[in-house]
Amino acid sequence: MAKTTHIAVISIPAFSHQASIIEFCKRLIDLHHHIHVTCIVPTIDTPLPTTLTLLKSLPSNIHHTFLPPINKQDLPQEAPSAVQIQLAVSQSMPSLRIALESLLSTTLLHALIVDPFANEALEIAKEFNLLSYIYFPPSAMTLSLFLHLPVLHQQVSCEYKDHKQAIQIPGCVPIQGQDLPQHLQDRSSLAYKLILDRCKRLSLANGFLVNSFTKIEEDSQRALEKHNNKVYLIGPVIQTGPSEESKGLECVRWLENQRPKSVLYVSFGSGGTLSQQQLNELAFGLELSGEKFLWVLKAPSASSDGAYVGAYNDDPLQFLPHGFLERTKGNSFVVTSWAPQAQILSHISTGGFLTHCGWNSALESIVLGVPMIAWPLFAEQKMNAILLSEGLKVALRPKFNENGIVEREEIAKVIKGVMFGEEGNEIRARIEKLKDAAADAFKEDGSSIVALHQFVTQMENFM
């Protein structure tokens, strides 16, 4: 009988990251029953309700503990959500050290697995002589950028958006500087400094667990393995969630009454928000397309990631164009809170996905074989959109006008293109092949299963 192996994981106060690392832990212990996990969760003000729901479904050998909350009022109010989250995590490091000391007093802890935006914990792991790994929720392409950023910072002296030549990230398709992550676009900003510091700290990790799989990022994987041979592509790890929770939802019942592949699912993820002007154009574009849609609607915000740390009490429906719901009645279903994304994407009635290109959402769409409209908002989403539309060719991208707005006619055009056009049919054929490849990755000898076994073997060989 295998001896128990204890590991601790630390995430950040953003649901998409928390959901991903928790699903990874569930998959890990499903394969290796002797592993026990303690999830350490930093918080801002209070734990996220969606996180509390997710934690209730954990198996018995995954435990969790919340670090003392950071007061949101103690964070710079004008800072972007990503900066607030990173500063909150930094302020939580003394509490993490205490939590680890407490854990080590009762448990033979073998390793610490940390989110890339909580990687100050790598230094604490060294203090306690623990193995440490980065669990990387985004793509292998983004990890390659993060590892390359200190070099890129030296090579390029101007703002990246002003750099004339395409930027070559090792193992990735060349991209323009303006398509690098949002918070790299102002090199004098605190956001850039925080990310650069975290990228420099990645070398402290003993290895990297990446939420991707070989078939979609083979070139990036090869480049990463040249940098560090302990890189494990262990995805696609997606959130399936408790299905009982969504059975009686009205939006699911509405889907049951629609024709196969006839509904466009529209969601900008747990953090994404649009301006009022863009929300109006999207509404009119959906209406103009004449296609059926299920829209997860959030109140507008001046910040594209405004829903991450801000809770909006306003009813989102009041921000829709006058008469929109009446005019689209029968063709539409608008959800103003949480929606069971995996269940919606897997439903036979769903034929397309208008997405912000968060990596979790992109992987869910690939795993479930749903063609995409790629509409990136923030973080590394433009890079994901390039990979999806130009690299894998499983998404269409709408064009933004000179004011950074996607106009209603363009929206209607890409909706029709992905739902019924010839290009949409080609995308559907390609994503079906990737769906099969994603399933193959988790067969007994699949690439991701092999990678998970290699990770556990190499970790335990260090013990």
Active centre residues (catalytic): 17, 115
Task: Report phi then psi at 352, rounded to 5.
Answer: -165, 165
Distance CA 351, CA 371 (A): 7
Among the listed residues 127, 121, 185, 137, the one whose alpha carbon sits nearest the alpha carbon of residue 382: 185
Distance CA 157, CA 144 (A): 20
Instruction: Find out whether 399 and 375 touch, Cβ atoms under 8 Å.
Output: no
Q: From residue 80, how far is each of 84, 192, 236, 254 by CA, in Å?
A: 6, 12, 29, 36
Both tokens of 447, joined, read: 């690439």
Helices (H) and strands (E) in the chain — how many of each? Answer: 17, 13
Distance CA 418, CA 431 (A): 12
Instruction: Find out whether 67 and 43 touch, Cβ atoms under 8 Å.
Output: yes
**Angle at CA of residue 197, ends 192 and 201, nearest 5°:** 145
End-to-end CA distance of the chain: 17
Helix (H) or strand (E) holding 361, with range, is: helix 359-368
Distance CA 226, CA 330 (A): 54
Instruction: Find out whether 172 and 223 touch, Cβ atoms under 8 Å.
Output: yes
Among the listed residues 192, 184, 40, 216, the one whose alpha carbon sits nearest the alpha carbon of residue 115: 40
Q: Label residues 298-331 b or e (16+ Cβ within 10 Å = b).
A: bbbbebbbbbbbeeeeeebeebbeeebeeebeeb
Distance CA 390, CA 374 (A): 11
